[in-house]
């Protein structure tokens, strides 16, 4: 399912919701989630799960092709932890 | 950020009532959960992909007692953030 499919299904299911408004809402939701994570905020959506940003330390890595040592700077990575309800539903 | 704050964003930015915004958010989440429960992946361009993966049965170990235990086959969800989201998180702002 793509974002487009999600928009279509949402417009089908919510009474009097146009495709255009559904698209604007879906975009607003994921944009505000991106902004929250960019600000280092944690997102908790009950029933779905939580999104958080993890800090990765700087490390010495290797170029897998040449074997050369390379410095990998510290960085932040987005992380999703599945909620209990969804975890159980998927495994059913 | 909670679901209530997401609802508030829709109320402010898109102009639906709080009640409508809440219903729409719940419906969208339900559509996503149904899709994943059916094993279908979700690709949200600009944000990331949610993928259902089948894990085989394996032997694990209780880290406390060292005792071996069988971990049954199961399905799990993984999230892979898009390059846009990864960049936003490192820059400290979106867009």
d(CA A2, CA B35) in angstroms, rounded, equals 11
Half-sphere exposure of A44 (CA within 13 A, CB side): 3
Per CB-CB distance under 8 Å, the chain A contacts of B14 are 21, 24-25, 28
The range of the structural domain enclosing residue A2 comes to 1-41
What CATH number should be reported for the domain holding residue A91?
4.10.520.10
Q: Which residue of A has its CA nearest to B91?
A: A38
Same domain, A50 and A88: yes
DSSP B14-38: T---HHHHHHHHHHHHHHHHHHHHT
Same domain, A49 and A92: yes
- Over range B58-70, report the average pLDDT: 91
- For chain A, the distance separating the N- and C-terminal CA atoms, rounded to the nearest angstrom, is 20
Option in A10, A51, A79 nearest B28 (CB): A10
Per CB-CB distance under 8 Å, the chain A contacts of B28 are 6, 10, 25-26, 29
Q: Is the pLDDT of residue B84 over 70?
A: yes
Main-chain dihedrals φ then ψ at residue B44, nearest 5 degrees: -105, 105
3-state SS of chain B?
CEHHHHHHHHHHHCCCCHHHHHHHHHHHHHHHHHHHHCCCCEEECCCEEEEEEEECCEEEECCCCCCEEEECCEEEEEEEECHHHHHHHHHCCCC
Overall number of domains in chain A: 2
Phi/psi zone of residue B14: left (φ > 0), alpha (ψ -120 to 50 degrees), beta? Answer: alpha
Count other Cβ atoms within 10 Å, centred on residue B20: 20
Residue B93: pLDDT band by 50, 70, 90 thresholds?
confident
Where does B1-39 sit in CATH, by number?
4.10.520.10
| pLDDT at position A92 | 83
CB contact under 8 A, A29 and B25: yes
Residue B95: pLDDT band by 50, 70, 90 thresholds?
low
Same domain, A1 and A37: yes
| pLDDT at position A85 | 94
Q: Which residue of A has its CA nearest to B39?
A: A90
Ranking B26-35, B43-52, B64-73 by mean pLDDT, the lowest is: B64-73
Identify from B47, B78, B87 which residue to disrupt to test chain A contact, counting A C-beta atoms within 10 A and taking the largest count: B47
Mean pLDDT for all residues in chain A = 95
Give me the sign of the Cα torsion angle B22, B2, A10, A7. Answer: positive
Residue with tokens 């505000």: A32
Mean pLDDT for all residues in chain B = 94
Same domain, A3 and A35: yes
| pLDDT at position A54 | 96
Q: Is the pLDDT of residue A79 over 80?
A: yes
Domain coordinates in residue numbering, chain B:
1-39, 41-95
| pLDDT at position B92 | 80
Half-sphere exposure of A71 (CA within 13 A, CB side): 3
Per-residue pLDDT of A20-58, as tens digits, reads 999 999 999 999 999 999 999 999 999 999 999 999 999
Ranking A3-12, A16-25, B20-29, B58-67 by mean pLDDT, the lowest is: B58-67
Q: Which CATH topology does B41-95 take?
A: HU Protein; Chain A (4.10.520)
Count other Cβ atoms within 10 Å, centred on residue A61: 11
Same domain, A19 and A49: no
């Amino acid at each position: 399912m793509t974002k487009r499919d999600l928009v279509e299904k949402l417009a089908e299911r919510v009474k009097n919701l146009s495709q255009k408004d559904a698209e604007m809402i879906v975009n607003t939701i994921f944009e505000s989630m991106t902004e929250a994570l960019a600000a280092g905020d944690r997102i908790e959506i009950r029933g779905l799960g939580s999104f958080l940003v993890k800090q990765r330390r700087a490390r010495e890595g290797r170029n897998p092709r040449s074997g050369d040592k390379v410095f990998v700077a510290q960085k932040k990575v987005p992380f999703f932890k599945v909620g209990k309800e969804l975890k159980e539903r998927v495994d059913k | 950020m909670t679901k209530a704050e997401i609802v508030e964003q829709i109320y402010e930015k898109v102009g639906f009532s709080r009640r409508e915004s809440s219903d729409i958010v719940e419906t969208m989440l339900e559509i996503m959960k149904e899709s994943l429960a059916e094993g279908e992946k979700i690709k949200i361009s600009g944000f990331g992909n949610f993928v259902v993966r089948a894990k085989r049965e394996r032997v694990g170990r209780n880290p406390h007692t060292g005792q071996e235990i069988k971990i049954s086959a199961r399905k799990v969800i993984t999230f892979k953030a898009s390059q846009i989201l990864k960049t936003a998180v490192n820059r400290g702002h979106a867009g």
